[in-house]
Structure 1
Amino acid sequence: MAAKILVADDNPAMREAIVRFVEAEGYVALAARNGREALNLALAELPDLVLLDVTMPDYDGYEVCRRLKADPRTALIPVTMLTVLDAPEHRWRGIEAGADDFLTKPFDERLLRARIQSQLRTKRLTDQLERTESVIFALALAVEAKDMYTEGHLWRLAYYGEQLATAAGLGHDVRRAVWQGGLLHDIGKIGVADSILRKPAPLTPEEYAQIKQHPECGARIIAPMRFARDVAPIIRGHHEHWDGSGYPYGLRGEEIPIGARIIAIVDAYDAMTTDRPYRKALSPERAVQRLRARCGIQWDPSLTALFIMLIEQKRLIVPNDAGVTHHIPVV
């Protein structure tokens, strides 16, 4: 299927010339006369590349680029800015807006052809990574499906973790990593025998040793992913304890990544408030008592107190199936 290229330029002659060139190269051209049209077309058509003029009515190219890069549906679409403004400050504004490339008008057709080909190669690689990441998330849900008692656990952790990260005032990159870490924190259990995962009795030391390998295993599984730098520490550290008695490394206090500390708290709360093979679910009130009892021992005292406040003030949103299925992580 031919790649779709969105051409946004308020100059009719320039826009039509670029559209003709794009179509002559074998691509599908989408044309927008202003910034508002460009945004609407990008969201409706999800093109493979945007060629974006800087000076346009409604929204200028910088604003269009910022909005495209801020929306998870269009954030990974390459944006090449077209400008007659060659001053360094204009390039800096484009870089700050998230532009991937720049072309100064008027431009040579050979250069335009080369830039289009380069950006489309990048988009194909990005799409491949996106598909790979989707497989990884599907694998995490398959691990969860092994155990009827943990149905919905991953989605709840992602949802609870994001709420706690937001309440703690953490930035959007950390909140997104926490959301992803909630979904992927137990992916390493793919290598643990079902008989151990579903065992209704206490584990033997040998079985527990297998369980303790899953944080490192999970971090290795996601290592090739783009988000691994931010998410792997959460996966690796979600069983570390504030007092240093956890695993796999015996980290203590703020040595434990903050995302891992968040997931550890919400993981414990969700485990306590859902049925498990070895016990019935606790009430939220009883779970809060247990959180308080281990606060500063197993879990970060400040984050635990904040999470308890969300529960007691009835500000913690418990997702239902429909809400979780359609939840979009922060960007």
Structure 2
Amino acid sequence: MEPGAKVLVVDDYEPNARGMRDLLVAAGHTVRVAHNGADALRFASDEPPDLVVLDVVMPGMSGVEVCRELKTRSLTRLTPVVLVTGNHDHAYRLAGLDAGADDFIKKPLDVPEFRTRVKSLLRLKRLTDELESTEAIMTMLGQIVEARDPYTEGHCERLADYATALGAALGLPDFDLDTLNRGAALHDVGKIAVPDGVLLKPGRLDPDEMALMRQHPVIGDNLCRTVRSLERVRPIVRSHHEREDGRGYPDGLSGREIPLLAQIVGVVDVFDALTTNRPYRTAMTTQAAYDIMLADAASGWCPVKLVRMFIDLHRSTHFRSYSGRTQSDVSQPSQARA
């Protein structure tokens, strides 16, 4: 078994719980025991385990119900759960799989099988943790980019809020909403390679500086390419500056070639750039931003329908609380260096 793991054993029958605990402790693991579902969920929240060994039949919450709840919580959704059951009925296994169970162990325990399955699941958890750590480093790079420019404080958080709300309004599935949330945090990660003299320049960029700035989507995509778990985020990072008419960058995509999630982040990115102070101009009013975005959409930037949907959403929700924090009442030129 993988040494040093934290394992939560959940079984209402004390002899079974004690037996599994003793096997795990002998292998060098730290074990916590719960005898019902409520305690199991509380223990998992207090100190997220590396593995949960969970009896299926218990009074109160069943093991399947506990598993389902664990898999919905952000702290434990990637924690392997193995269900222990004496019932070999196919329906039980289907219910467990539907709840998110990662494996099954039959009663009475076959000790070598128990050890092997636990070892396999802990190895999977270690690999998942390594992937999460790498993704966290990438997210931190995105935060470093934001921290370099005092004008963009909170930019990625607002984009995540805007983008996921717009995605939900479009009826996108949960995995797309999760991708939008992560993509908003990483959309400008490639700016880590843009010098401060260009990124924070108070005036208009010259042609060479603009060419350098326009490389940030490619640089960001290349960074994300190294992390397999960010595969779905890459189209957002690379393509959020593309235009419907093909005049965007870096690839000159047009029309349906542009991924929808990238267009969503592109729309909300421009809105936030227009309505917050930047080194090269002061913020616009919300209405001025609406007008400019609609005009630009009509001229080939992005689908007008998408912009209208965002504007309607923005007008009708709490997003209005973002507006006015740094806005001036003076309309500015339509260029938004997002």
TM-score (norm 2): 0.89
Preserved contact between residue 168 and residue 303 of structure 1 (Cα < 8 Å) = no
* Distance across 2 between alignment mates of 1:252 and 1:66: 42
* Distance across 1 between alignment mates of 2:70 and 2:81: 9
Please point out which of 291, 306, 309 is paired with 1:306.
309
Preserved contact between residue 39 and residue 68 of structure 1 (Cα < 8 Å) = yes
1:52 paired to 2:74: no
* Distance across 1 between alignment mates of 2:275 and 2:301: 18
Q: Quote the residue 1:222 is aligned against.
A: 224
Preserved contact between residue 163 and residue 316 of structure 1 (Cα < 8 Å) = no
1:126 paired to 2:128: yes
Letter in 2 for 1:216: V
* Distance across 2 between alignment mates of 1:151 and 1:179: 17
Aligned residues: 320
Q: Quote the residue 1:22 is aligned against.
A: 24
Cα displacement string for residues 37-66 of structure 1 (whole angstroms, at most 9, x for unaligned residues): 221221122111100111122221222111
Question: How far did residue 167 of structure 1 move?
Answer: 2.1
Q: Quote the residue 2:283 is aligned against.
A: 281
* Distance across 2 between alignment mates of 1:317 and 1:9: 49
Query: Percent sequence identity over matched residues?
Result: 43
The unaligned stretches of length 5 or more in structure 1 are 321-331
Letter in 1 for 2:222: R
Cα displacement string for residues 117-148 of structure 1 (whole angstroms, at most 9, x for unaligned residues): 22222222222222222211111111122222
Question: How far did residue 79 of structure 1 move?
Answer: 0.6
Instruction: Classify 1:318/1:242 alpha carbon distance in 2 versus 1 (closer, same or farther; 3 Å).
Output: farther
Preserved contact between residue 135 and residue 230 of structure 2 (Cα < 8 Å) = no
Q: Quote the residue 1:328 is aligned against.
A: none
CA RMSD of aligned residues (A): 1.8
Preserved contact between residue 54 and residue 82 of structure 1 (Cα < 8 Å) = yes
Letter in 2 for 1:298: W
Q: Quote the residue 2:150 is aligned against.
A: 148
Letter in 2 for 1:188: G
Report 1:136-215 matches (<5 A): 136-215=138-217
Instruction: Classify 1:62/1:314 alpha carbon distance in 2 versus 1 (closer, same or farther; 3 Å).
Output: closer
1:243 paired to 2:249: no
* Distance across 1 between alignment mates of 2:321 and 2:265: 16
Question: How far did residue 26 of structure 1 move?
Answer: 2.0
Letter in 1 for 2:131: L
* Distance across 1 between alignment mates of 2:280 and 2:322: 25
* Distance across 2 between alignment mates of 1:319 and 1:113: 53
Partner of 1:295, secondary structure, is helix
Instruction: Classify 1:85/1:146 alpha carbon distance in 2 versus 1 (closer, same or farther; 3 Å).
Output: same
Q: Quote the residue 2:255 is aligned against.
A: 253
Letter in 2 for 1:136: M
Report 1:290-301 matches (<5 A): 290-296=292-298, 297-301=300-304
Letter in 2 for 1:306: M
1:265 paired to 2:267: yes
Partner of 1:121, secondary structure, is helix
* Distance across 2 between alignment mates of 1:125 and 1:3: 13
Question: How far did residue 299 of structure 1 move?
Answer: 2.0
Letter in 2 for 1:245: R
* Distance across 1 between alignment mates of 2:54 and 2:259: 40
* Distance across 1 between alignment mates of 2:27 and 2:66: 25
Question: How far did residue 249 of structure 1 move?
Answer: 1.9
Preserved contact between residue 188 and residue 214 of structure 1 (Cα < 8 Å) = yes
* Distance across 1 between alignment mates of 2:144 and 2:244: 30
* Distance across 1 between alignment mates of 2:266 and 2:100: 34
* Distance across 1 between alignment mates of 2:271 and 2:290: 8
Partner of 2:267, secondary structure, is helix
The unaligned stretches of length 5 or more in structure 2 are 324-338
* Distance across 1 between alignment mates of 2:62 and 2:219: 47
Partner of 1:316, secondary structure, is helix
Preserved contact between residue 153 and residue 270 of structure 1 (Cα < 8 Å) = yes
Partner of 2:302, secondary structure, is coil
TM-score (norm 1): 0.91
Cα displacement string for residues 265-303 of structure 1 (whole angstroms, at most 9, x for unaligned residues): 111001100112221100001111111112242122222
Q: Quote the residue 1:323 is aligned against.
A: none
Question: How far did residue 160 of structure 1 move?
Answer: 1.5
